[in-house]
Amino acid sequence: MAKLRVGILISGRGSNMAALIKAAQAADYPAEIACVISNKADAGGLRIAADAGIPTTVISHRAYPDRESFDREVSAALEKHGVGLVVLAGFLRIFSSWFPEHWAGRLINIHPSLLPSFKGLHVQQQAIDAGVRVSGCTVHFVIPDLDAGPIIAQAAVPVLQDDTEDTLTARILRQEHRLYPEVVRWFGEGRVSASGNGAKVAVEGLPPGGTLLFSGEL
Ligand code: GRF
């Protein structure tokens, strides 16, 4: 069966992108990374992708008069590479509503909190400040509302008394690198039901609780 062609959008270091590239190097992985697009020319992840032989493109949002014209250019680049799933991996640009509507059901993001808690930026510090004992990361469909699309899977980690933003960020990031390749695998296997706003997402053939990873690692 043909592999799912994945386009990854980044703005920075690209550690989640690197985890996906590594996963996709396995012969039996059902998805391949077709292209990596960054809105920033100095994103560290661009070098990692190029070294892995993946086509990279820089599309600077500064070159476009408004969000939608930038979004349409990104979309055209993804379509040129025959992308079937768009994966946001530290992409720090807010879309116009056109982009998530155009890619509805084929556009996912990873966020470093257990949504719907802690949206926006510095969410690990938000979790520490709130005194929660558990946090983690969420992979979700992207809809026009920020950090609000239907949840596909989550990974949970402990929040410790003496955690700093850095230590909690690192603990969550290790789980991001497990969770995201797993979710993209499910898409490649055609097991994720595309979902509109408000609906619950189902993944076929998983044991109960299979869309939740736990890590007790401190
Ligand atoms: C990750 O924490 C991800 O959850 C968030 O942005 C960060 C990107 O890190 N959306 P990286 O570029 O993948 O290393």
pLDDT in tens, 136-156: 999 999 999 999 999 999 999
Distance from C-alpha of 128 to C-alpha of 190, rounded to nearest angstrom: 37
pLDDT of res. 217: 80
Q: Tell me if 1-103 shares its fold with 109-218.
A: yes
Residue 81 a catalytic site member: no
Q: Which residues contact 139 (CB under 8 A, 6 or more apart)?
A: 108, 109, 110, 111, 151, 152, 153, 154, 179, 180, 183
Residue 212 zone, left/alpha/beta (φ > 0; ψ -120 to 50; rest)? beta
Q: Does residue 1 register a pLDDT over 90?
A: no
pLDDT of res. 195: 61
Cα dihedral 94→95→101→103 (10° resolution): -90
Smallest CA separation from ligand 1 atom 1, residue: 90
Annotated catalytic residue, options 61, 81, 102, 111: 111
Question: Could you report the per-residue pLDDT of 33-75, keeping only the tens digit for each?
Answer: 999 999 999 999 999 999 999 999 999 999 999 999 999 999 9
* Pair of tokens at residue 123: 């969410």
CA of 16 relative to ligand 1 center, distance in Å: 6
Q: Which residues contact 124 (CB under 8 A, 6 or more apart)?
A: 112, 113, 135, 165, 168, 169, 172
CA of 54 relative to ligand 1 center, distance in Å: 19
Does the beta carbon of 108 sit less than 6 angstroms from any atom of ligand 1?
Answer: no
**Chain-centre distance of CA 100, in angstroms?**
14
Question: CATH 3.30.420.40: does it fit domain 109-218?
Answer: no
Domain borders along the chain are 1-103, 109-218
Question: Could you report the per-residue pLDDT of 165-216, keeping only the tens digit for each?
Answer: 999 999 999 999 999 999 999 999 999 987 655 568 999 999 989 999 998 8
CA of 178 relative to ligand 1 center, distance in Å: 13
Does the beta carbon of 176 sit less than 6 angstroms from any atom of ligand 1?
Answer: yes
Nearest alpha-carbon partner for 90 in 165, 17, 175, 183 = 17
Q: Which ligand 1 atom sits closest to the C-alpha of 111?
A: 4
Q: Is the peptide bond prior to 116 cis by the omega test (within 30 degrees of 0)?
A: yes
| Band of pLDDT at residue 125, cut at 50, 70 and 90 | very high
Does the beta carbon of 110 sit less than 6 angstroms from any atom of ligand 1?
Answer: yes
pLDDT of res. 218: 79
**Chain-centre distance of CA 8, in angstroms?**
8
SS3 60: coil
Does the beta carbon of 13 sit less than 6 angstroms from any atom of ligand 1?
Answer: yes
Nearest alpha-carbon partner for 108 in 138, 65, 67, 68 = 138
Question: CATH 2.60.40.1120: does it fit domain 1-103?
Answer: no
User: Are the C-beta atoms of 151 and 115 separated by less than 8 Å?
Assistant: yes
Please provide the DSSP assignment of 153-207 as one string.
EEEEEE--TT--HHHHHHHHHHHHHHHHHHHHHHHHTT-BPP--TTPPP-BTTPP
Distance from C-alpha of 182 to C-alpha of 176, rounded to nearest angstrom: 10
b/e per residue 149-181 (b: at least 16 CB within 10 A)? bbbbbbbbbbbeeebeeeebbebbbbbbbebbb
